[in-house]
Each structure stands twice: as structure tokens, then as C-alpha cells.
Amino acid sequence: MPSDQQAVAPPADYEGLREGGTYGLAAGVLGILGGLLSAHFRAAGYAVSVVSTLLFLLALRRLSRAIGEPRLFTYGAYLVAVGAGGGLAALLLVDYAVAVGAVGRGSAVVGLLTFIYAVVVALGYLFRRVYLLLSEGVAAPAPDASDMFEEAATLYWIGALLTAVLVGAFFMLAGAVYAVRGFGELRRAQPPAAAGREGSGAAQPGPT
């Protein structure tokens, strides 16, 4: 006769959640810092962004194992590929336009801006997929983090769509902040038993 324990889902990998949260938190903070540095110190901003990207992939790799969702890392890899490939293609197109003297032509400018917008929308979609998968995967062990990732997914997608009217960057920055907060919550994820012991210990009255 099978025991009742066989019907119970395996416990969440809380150590993996905390480890992935640590990597993700570092990646998010460095990503925001890299974006700010790029405005005045391009080389430094680029270097920080590369480190942030590697940490982000490491976080998704660890979290995909912790929640048993391999698509999480797959979408993350697509995200990095589209970002790197799209950025490189945009730079090459700009260099080509300058070389052939097409920068002043309206059609060339419109074509370049359309390509950049398409890349940004693709990135927004992939960010949305990543954070929705994270939100679903950590809903039971870390509900606060799940809410943060859901907000991040929405803000990234809205920001990507609104990039054409120049306000999308603010939504995407807000999405990055929510993602950082979500990773921060994951760093504090604890099994229910451990959380209960901490709560009961804090609530115990002292000796009379």
C-alpha cells in the first residue's frame, strides 16, 4: 500500500533559490550601474554590463534547476543572444550608413530606428517570459519574490512597447528595480519549518 508521502511534491530547493537570488541581485545592481556609467564612461559601463550579464545567466541557470524549469535558462540565453546580436548589428548598420553617406537620408534613419525598436521589443518580450517563469516557479516558496517578478515582467514589456515614444526607458528601469527586489527576496527564502521556528522563537515569552 503506497504511503501518503508519495503524493507529496518534493520540497523546493531553498539553497538553490538563495544562491540564485544572490547572483541575480548582484547582476541587477551591476546592470543598473553599467547603464548609468555608459552615459559618461562607455568602456567602464560596457565592462560592468558584461559582468552583469554573466551573473544574470548564472542566476537563471541556478534558479532553473532549483524550480525545475529548464525554459528559464533557455529564455535567458535567447535574451543575451538577441541583446548582443542586435546591438552589434545596430553598430554595424550605423558604421555602414556613415561610410556610404546615408546618415542624412530619412529612409536610412527610419530603417535604423525601426530595427532598433524591433530589437528592444524582442528583448522586452524575452524579459517578460523570464520573469513570468520566475514568478510562477517561486510562487509557493517565495510569494513576495513572485509578486516582484510579475511586476518586473509587466514593466519590461510596457517599457519595450513604449520605447518609440521615449518613455519606455523609465518603465524598463522600474522593471529592473522590481527584479532586483525580487532577487533580494529570494536570498531570504526559508523552508516553512525553519520560518516557523524563527517566528515561534521570537514570540516566546521570557521567564516570569
DSSP per residue, 177-203 = HHHHHHHHHHTT---HHHHHHHHHHHH
pLDDT grade, residue 3 (50/70/90)? very low
Q: What amino acid occupies position 194? A: A
Rounded Cα distance, 66 and 127, in Å = 19
pLDDT grade, residue 88 (50/70/90)? confident
For position 106, what pLDDT does the model report? 66
For position 165, what pLDDT does the model report? 85
Q: What amino acid occupies position 159? A: G
CB 49 within 8 A of CB 65: no
> Tell me: the pLDDT tens digits for 36-48?
888 788 889 889 9
pLDDT tops 70 at residue 92: yes
More confidently predicted of 197 and 91: 91
Selection from 189, 119, 198 nearest residue 148 by Cα: 189
pLDDT tops 80 at residue 148: yes
The single residue listed with the C-alpha cell 543575451 is 80
Rounded Cα distance, 64 and 118, in Å = 28
CB 65 within 8 A of CB 23: no
Rounded Cα distance, 168 and 136, in Å = 25
Contacts for 195 with CB less than 8 Å, ≥ 6 apart: none
| H/E stretch holding 118 | helix 106-137
Q: What amino acid occupies position 193? A: A
More confidently predicted of 11 and 126: 126
pLDDT tops 60 at residue 70: yes
> Average pLDDT, stretch 122-143?
95
Lowest mean pLDDT among 70-79, 84-93, 104-113, 167-176: 104-113
pLDDT grade, residue 109 (50/70/90)? confident
Helix segments in 138-187, DSSP class H: 143-161, 168-186
Which cell numbers hold the place of 143?
510569494
More confidently predicted of 1 and 130: 130
For position 17, what pLDDT does the model report? 95
pLDDT > 70 in the chain, percent: 82
